[in-house]
């Protein structure tokens, strides 16, 4: 497990200039955590179990596929669960907003609620999804609507809500970056904060087994795999004959677009041109014009399911398809045991 460092003279100067700010940021985060532990800052305790999915760093570690996996596992056991998210990048202005109505109709756009809550709502019609700048308001709204269990998306640092289980995701290829806190590094908290976790899930795991530093609890290894089917932007399955051997323009606005492009080759496209975009990319006219200007020599376009929620077929003169991502575990039994224990905490008055 390697630790990243500055790669040039300029980056070294910038790094050492930011280190004092990282030290100050670390002090503030440790003080904040201490205030919560001492009870000087209060955490809202919900009337139903709360499971937090989070990480230690800025950037993508695969939280959305993980939350989607948990939704499906919990829902298969007949438990009514809800997702509460901050709605990163969303334009909504309410204290709390419900992404879809009680009958399962999605009533907010990806621009309004953020692409990840929108994607989770679309993939899981029977599950309530809420966005709230202060997650406490979203949790309270979910309680009022009678859910039995709440999933807190990106909640590890959100100590204002008590959680029954903390699951932390770490990218096995770069779990802690250079080991420094923001802004000199990518850590949101010091490595000692990892001890709050009830379970660590290593994502993008390679062939060699590794364990995260400074953590002695249960560790699961996982990878992200593309769904076995390609779909239209509207959600219809695309027959293999419609894409195999075709020239493809692939684009993605996610944290690791190169990995997405590499995985696409398993579908048998004749040729793939890659356009990596920024994570949480906004598809304004400038970006659409860039894609349109590149698709003349290609038979089709393809993107991630996360990007697709912000697009429509009318945006493109040629077919544009999407493909989703799912979590695959080397051994999911420890996670199943943990989830089953949490579901036993559902109040007896709640029908389950």
* Tens-place pLDDT, residues 153-166: 999 999 999 999 99
> Quick one: 202 and 58 in the same domain?
yes
pLDDT digits (tens, 9 = 90+) for 170-179: 999 889 988 8
> What confidence tens digit (pLDDT) does each residue in 179-200 have?
899 999 999 999 999 999 999 9
Question: What is the DSSP annotation of 7-28?
Answer: -SHHHHHHHHHHHHHHHHHHHH
Looking at the chain, the whole-number percentage of residues with pLDDT higher than 70 is: 94
Residue 130 belongs to domain spanning = 50-225+328-343
Model confidence over 253-284: pLDDT tens digits? 998 899 999 999 999 999 999 999 999 899 99
Q: Determine the distance from the C-alpha atom of residue 73 to the mean position of all C-alpha atoms in its chain, rounded to a whole number.
A: 17
Q: Given this model, what pLDDT does residue 349 score?
A: 65
**In terms of domains, do 243 and 273 share one?**
yes
**SS3 of 160, please?**
coil
Which has the higher per-residue pLDDT, 342 or 12? Answer: 342
Residues 139 and 241 in one domain: no
Q: Which residue has the tokens 């949790």?
A: 139
HSE, side-chain direction, 13 A CA sphere, residue 255:
13
Whether residues 220 and 235 share a domain: the answer is no
What pLDDT, on a 0 to 100 scale, did the predictor assign at position 320?
97
The residue-averaged pLDDT of 300-312 equals 96
Which of 12-21, 46-55, 289-298, 331-340 is predicted with the least confidence, judged by mean pLDDT? Answer: 12-21
pLDDT in tens, 131-159: 999 999 999 999 999 999 999 999 999 99
Please check whether residue 37 lies inside any domain of the structure.
no
162 shares a domain with 64: yes
Return the CATH number at 165: 3.40.50.300
Is a pLDDT exceeding 90 seen at residue 205? no
Mean of pLDDT over the chain: 92
Same domain as 334, residue 238:
no
> For residue 212, what pLDDT band results from cuts at 50, 70 and 90?
low
Q: Quick one: the chain helix, strand, coil %, rounded to 5?
A: 30, 25, 45
Distance from first CA to last CA of the chain, Å, rounded? 43
Give CA–CA dist 282/105, Å, rounded. 24
Same domain assignment for residues 136 and 241: no
- Whether 220 and 268 map to the same domain: the answer is no
Is there a domain that residue 76 lies in?
yes
Q: What is the DSSP string of 252-310?
A: E-SS-HHHHHHHHGGG--SEEEEEE--TT----HHHHHHHHHH-TT-SEEEEEHHHHTT
List the structure tokens of 130. Answer: 């809420």
Structurally, the chain folds into a number of domains equal to 2
- Count of CB atoms within 10 A of residue 161's CB? 22
Question: CB 169: neighbour CB atoms within 10 A?
Answer: 28
Query: What pLDDT score was predicted for residue 14?
Result: 83
pLDDT at 348: 81
pTM reported for the whole predicted model: 0.91
């Amino acid at each position: 497990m390697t630790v990243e460092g500055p790669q040039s003279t300029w980056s070294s100067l910038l790094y050492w200039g930011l280190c004092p700010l990282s030290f100050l940021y670390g002090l503030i985060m440790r003080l904040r955590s201490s205030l919560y532990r001492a009870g000087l800052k209060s955490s809202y305790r919900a009337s139903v179990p709360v499971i937090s999915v989070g990480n230690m760093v800025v950037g993508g570690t695969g939280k959305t596929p993980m939350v989607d996996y948990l939704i499906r596992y919990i829902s298969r056991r007949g438990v009514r669960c809800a997702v509460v998210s901050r709605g990163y990048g969303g334009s909504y202005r309410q204290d709390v907003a419900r992404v879809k109505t009680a009958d399962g109709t999605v009533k907010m756009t990806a621009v309004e609620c953020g692409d990840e809550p929108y994607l989770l709502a679309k993939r899981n019609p029977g599950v309530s999804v809420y966005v709230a700048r202060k997650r406490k308001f979203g949790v309270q709204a979910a309680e009022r609507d009678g859910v039995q269990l709440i999933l807190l998306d990106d909640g590890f640092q959100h100590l204002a809500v008590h959680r029954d289980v903390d699951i932390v995701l770490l990218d096995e290829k770069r779990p802690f970056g250079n080991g420094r806190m923001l802004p000199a590094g990518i850590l949101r908290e010091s490595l000692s904060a990892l001890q709050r976790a009830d379970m660590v899930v290593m994502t993008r795991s390679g062939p060699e087994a590794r364990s995260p530093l400074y953590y002695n609890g249960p560790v699961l290894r996982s990878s992200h795999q593309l769904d076995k089917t390609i779909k239209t932007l509207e959600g219809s399955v695309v027959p293999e004959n419609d894409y195999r051997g075709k020239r493809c323009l692939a684009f993605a606005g996610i944290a690791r677009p190169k990995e997405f492009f590499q995985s696409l080759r398993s579908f048998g496209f004749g040729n793939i041109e890659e356009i990596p975009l920024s994570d949480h990319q906004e598809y304004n006219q400038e970006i659409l014009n860039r894609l349109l200007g590149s698709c003349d020599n290609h038979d089709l376009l393809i993107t991630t399911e996360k990007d697709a929620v912000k697009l429509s077929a009318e945006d493109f003169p040629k077919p544009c398809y999407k493909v989703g991502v799912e979590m695959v575990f080397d051994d999911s039994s420890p996670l199943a045991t943990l989830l089953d224990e949490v579901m036993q905490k559902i109040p007896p008055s709640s029908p389950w």
